[in-house]
A and B are shown apart, each in its own frame.
Chain A
Amino acid sequence: MTSTPIRYRLAVASRAVAAIAGGYAVAALSAAALALALPAWTGMARSEAVLTGTLASFAVFAGAVMWVFAARTALRAWAGLALSAAVLALPVLLLGGGGA
């Protein structure tokens, strides 16, 4: 097989890490965010919100993975993940840790 350029391999590796680790992080954050935000914003029972967030998190994971490989550059892939993570982290930081 012809050797593929090292840049391509690095880009693929970068996306793979982004997809697996970054995607998981975004999914985990979405589970936590929904679990905390839904009771605060809609009055849903806490256990219900946790279930909803966790059930949905796998779809979020799949979506994040697809985003990573659809983005035009590896950098954009990471940026998209970072942005989503930041947005999802807000409810976790504000509402988490006892309090509301």
Chain B
Amino acid sequence: MKEGFRQSMAWLHTWSGLLVGWVLFLVFAAGTAAYFRDEITLWMKPELHALPHAPVAQAQAAERAVQFLQQRGADSPRWFISMPTGREPLVGVLWTKPAPPAGAAPAGERPRRARFENASLDPATGDTAHAPRATRGGDFFYRLHFDLHYMPAIWARWIVGFSAMFMLVAIVSGIVTHKRIFKDFFTFRGKKGQRSWLDAHNVTAVLALPYHLMITYTGLITLMFLYMPWGPQAAYKDRGGEQAFFAEVFPGGGRDRFQAAGEKAPLAPIAPMLAQASAHWGGAAAGRITVHHPNDANAVVAITRAEGPRLSYDQPSMQFNGATGALIATYGDVPQAAAETRGVLYGLHVGRFANPLLRALFFLSGLAGCVMVATGLLLWAVKERQKYAKVLRKGGRIGFGLRLVDGLNLGAVAGLPAAMAAFFWANRLLPVGLAERAAAEIRWFFIVWGALAVLALLRPTLRMWQAQLGLGALLFMLLPVLNAFTTTHSHLGATLRHGPGAVAGLDLVAIALGLGLASAVWFVERKRRKTLALKHAAKAPAPRTPGEPEALSQGLATSGHQP
């Protein structure tokens, strides 16, 4: 580190990127998929594909939901109702179960936390819509990219946050170290070995640089109170602690503020409250309705505005007395500067403001991010391999570190796409009535990924790259075929004509991804043949000129992997 600033930043860039690169690839891949989380969920619930989607008045949808909840969750302390949107046509309802009275649990057993149940309702009729198969849908990818899986959420968020911080450092040090960032802006030189990997890494990094900076920084912001609680703690030490801070910034929230009175009172009709809220917001629709202590004298109905074309994730809300229907308070109409900034940063990350076109552009930038991480990892392996050129020529082997990186690269970059495709295959192939079906689909994702990762670590060869990329290509390209065979009227021919557009879109994107992976297989094939040709030439009788062995080893070194 006695070198110049740029060189030390280059060192920092390499290591901050490499050490967490595989986690980052997962985060980018799952996060990019999560842009279409609602669409993926719909694809994975074929029972809902034929539903007519005539828009239903909000008041009617809300009243149907309340009727349903009065039947199923009359004694629940809290109801949550999500209004249908363009991307999610059903009403989502969730109700918590009342906690068992203290002492009800047998001695020695911890009292169980209040559980909850949920359902999706047809907005027009209030029926549980056609009982779609149990699946996490797109929410699996969404959760995967920050809660990972098979571990407590807190651990996962720290791991992902740690990796995100490393990523932020990698981006900034990468910018500093990239001397010719403007000159090389459009530069991509193919078929030149290490040079090409570097160009690919640079192009995908620089051309989507605003996105990468934004998504990394805003990702940290979404969990900033977990990672950096010191501001609230220091400033509110003798003023009520962190809770007081959250009450100030997110007024109207906080479960504990709402206490049941104990005396029954029928819940007031919800339609007038919706109308008043909408009028207050200049005609904007409601997004979420939360009813605290329904059918109690102290019931409170909180209505939050729907996500609209506004960058900020925070939406204003209004609270009404549940028994009388009178307005209690409005919140969030005029956010303060720093709070609005945070809302905008959060909103930028989640991207729910984006219309389909903008969402497609986000998806494209996310894919660029995946390629950036992947090419970075592969570039490191290619460069490291060059140090073994002499050893390899003499028939020796590469070191443990490089072999481990080779295996991890393969398992991540080739294995993960195949596992994601397998998740979709599991959705169509697993029996609909299977117990714990949603968890089973997810288990298949990990079974496939685990198997591929183990194979990758055992034999990180070019052939293994082809096998895993090829598997992913096949699974993705055949997904629309699988769809056609396992559903009655959701095949591409039908969905292209009458929709749902989301299902057609996913089928088409699957084909495109499959083609991309297939071209990667072809690309590896070319490299494999070149490497073999060079190897045979090296084994040929003594070369004519003394310079030839050097040229051959250069070729071997830049080929990237042994066959």
Which A residues are within 8 Å of any B CB, using their own CB?
A: 1, 11-12, 15, 27-29, 31-32, 34-36, 39, 45-55, 57-59, 61-62, 65-66, 69-74, 92, 96-98
Contacts and interface: CB of A to CB of B under 8 A. Distances in A.
A90 B518 CA distance: 60
Query: Chain B interface: which size bin?
Result: 35 or more
Interface stretch (B217-225, B317-325, B542-550): B217-225
Given A35-B232, A62-B168, A54 B224 contact: yes
27 contacts: A1-B401, A28-B230, A35-B232, A39-B235, A47-B338, A47-B339, A49-B338, A50-B232, A50-B235, A51-B249, A51-B338, A52-B338, A54-B230, A55-B221, A57-B231, A58-B165, A58-B217, A58-B228, A61-B165, A62-B165, A62-B169, A66-B172, A70-B8, A70-B9, A96-B237, A97-B237, A98-B237
A72 B5 CA distance: 9
B345 A55 contact: yes
A22 to B, nearest CB: 14
B169 A53 contact: no
Contacts of B221: 55, 58
B169 A51 contact: no
Given A31-B228, A48-B339, A58-B168, A66 B173 contact: yes
A14 B228 CA distance: 24
B188 interface: no
Contacts of A31: 228, 230-231, 234
B336 A58 contact: no
B220 A58 contact: yes
B463 to A, nearest CB: 26
Main secondary structure of the interface of A (DSSP, over half): helix
Contacts of B12: 65-66, 69
A19 B12 CA distance: 11
B341 interface: yes
Interface in B335-361: 336-339, 341-342, 345
A46 B235 contact: yes
Contacts of B5: 70
Nearest to A45: B336
Contacts of A65: 12, 16, 169
B248 interface: yes
A84 B342 CA distance: 26
Contacts of B231: 31-32, 34-35, 49-51, 53-54, 57
A75 B12 CA distance: 17
Nearest to B251: A47
Contacts of B237: 96-98
B387 interface: yes
Contacts of A97: 237-238
The 4 closest A-B pairs by CB, nearest first: A32-B234, A98-B238, A51-B338, A35-B231
Contacts of A66: 9, 12, 169, 172-173, 176
User: Which of B16, B228, B231 has the largest count of A CB atoms less than 10 A from its CB?
Assistant: B231
Nearest to A51: B338
Nearest to B235: A35
A29 B8 CA distance: 26
